[in-house]
Amino acid sequence: MATETPTTEAADGVSTGSRGVWFAQARAFTDRSLREVRNSGLMLAWVIAFPAITYLLRVTQGTETSAAADASVAIGTGVLGAMFVSLFLFGSQLATDLEDRRYAAYRSMPISPSAELTGRMAAGLVLAAGSFAVTIVVAVATGAAFGLRGPASVPVVLLAGVATCLFWMVVAVPFVVVAGNKRVASMATTLVAVMAFVLTGLNGVVPAQSPIDGPALNYLPNTLATRLLVAHLVPAENWTELGVSPPQLPTEPAFLALLTGYTLIAVVAGSVLVTRTLYDRGWWT
């Protein structure tokens, strides 16, 4: 007897195929997103170099700082780069497909919206990681000092990095849907990244430069992730001397759980938004 391959049905009756098909679709969108960036050398250079240049402009202002202080600034700027990739690049690619009316064709195909979103996010994670890594390399080359606090820091750093990228990629989706235009969406998402960076004191690494009340910096998505990374990647004994606190750095497990919760809620909301608005289907496919 032949074995039947299980399938799922989208809300409009279009089959999205087996689990293997879902993964194939996700991989196809990942490859396509990476290829589009690779084929645009100027865009690739910009998203990778932008945070590193921002960091160099900051640390070459003539003010004498310590290696640990420079490391914390590098992390804040590196997170800006990850946010920039997640908001601007992810949003631009999504807006291009919407503006070119590709979703009119996607709706008639057996494409899973969740597979598309997952594929785009996977590509975004690769590019965001590259942008962050370049900033850290530049910081090390100019005298910043980094160091893991212990073996437990590795999963915390990885989870915090992935969580913040996924969160900001989802934030880009409603801007794209409302704007319906690549230029407007790109300007709006870029403004969000830059304003969040500036208004929170370089993503929370220089609280004195932020007009936001101190304790709140341990709860905002961008500053929470950044300050978690600083706590586990910067070897320092006195955070007050570095200007990173007060407030006290968010080292308790509850803060990592909070960041994870932000991301899970955002990913579910993003999946629903893509399915309902771009594919005009049910709540989840």
pLDDT at 284: 57
Rounded mean pLDDT, 65-80: 93
* pLDDT value at 285 more than 90: no
Residue 79 scores a pLDDT above 60: yes
Percentage of the chain lying above the pLDDT 70 cut: 92
CA angle 129, 189, 182 (to 5 degrees): 105
- 2 lies in some domain: no
pLDDT digits (tens, 9 = 90+) for 116-173: 999 999 999 999 999 999 999 999 999 999 999 889 999 999 999 999 999 999 999 9
Number of folded domains that form the chain: 1
Question: Residue 75 is part of which domain span?
Answer: 20-278
Residue found by looking up tokens 């803060």 in the block: 255
> What pLDDT sits at residue 10?
42
Q: What whole-number distance in Å separates Cα of residue 50 and Cα of residue 22?
A: 34
CB 189 within 8 Å of CB 88: yes
**Confidence band for 11, pLDDT divided at 50, 70 and 90:** very low
Mean predicted confidence (pLDDT) in 262-285:
88
DSSP state of 40: -
- Alpha-carbon span 204 to 223, nearest angstrom: 5
User: Is 207:243 a contact under the CB 8 Å cutoff?
Assistant: yes
Averaged over 109-122, what is the pLDDT?
94
Instruction: With a cut of 90, say whether residue 65 has pLDDT above it.
Output: no
pLDDT range class, residue 1, cuts 50, 70, 90? very low
What is the reported pLDDT for 8? 42
Within-domain flag for 110:
yes
With a CB cutoff of 8 Å and minimum separation 6, the contacts of 227 are: 204, 205, 217, 218, 244, 249, 250
Distance (Å, whole) CA 70 – CA 64: 10
Residue 9, pLDDT above cutoff 90 = no
Higher pLDDT, 118 or 12: 118
Give the position of tokens 């915390």.
Answer: 156
- φ, ψ of residue 63 to 5 degrees: the values are -80, 130
CB contact at 8 A, 197 and 203 = yes
Mean pLDDT of 170-184: 91
CA gap 200, 204 in Å, rounded: 5
Q: Average pLDDT, whole number, for the chain?
A: 88
Give the Å distances, CA to CA, from 216 to 57, 188, 207, 213: 27, 24, 10, 6
Helix and strand numbers, DSSP H then E, in the chain:
12, 2
Task: Grade residue 197 by pLDDT with cuts at 50, 70 and 90.
Answer: very high
Q: Which residue has the tokens 């310590």?
A: 66
pLDDT value at residue 4 = 38
- Among 160, 142, 126, 136, CA closest to 78: 136
Confidence band for 235, pLDDT divided at 50, 70 and 90: confident
Q: Is residue 124 part of a domain?
A: yes
Token representation of residue 76 = 């804040």
User: What is 166-233 written as a DSSP string?
Assistant: HHHHHHHHHHHHHH-SHHHHHHHHHHHHHHHHHHTHHHHT-GGG-SS-GGGGGTSHHHHHHHHHHHHH
The Cα-based distances of 284 to 8, 41, 106, 115 in angstroms read 11, 36, 16, 11
More confident residue, 249 or 214: 249
pTM of the prediction? 0.89
Q: Which of 25-34, 103-112, 272-281 has the highest mean pLDDT?
A: 25-34
User: 7 lies in a domain?
Assistant: no
pLDDT tens digit sequence for 253-267: 999 999 999 999 999
Is residue 23 scored above 80 in pLDDT? yes
Query: Does residue 3 sit within a domain?
Result: no
59 pLDDT above the threshold of 90? no
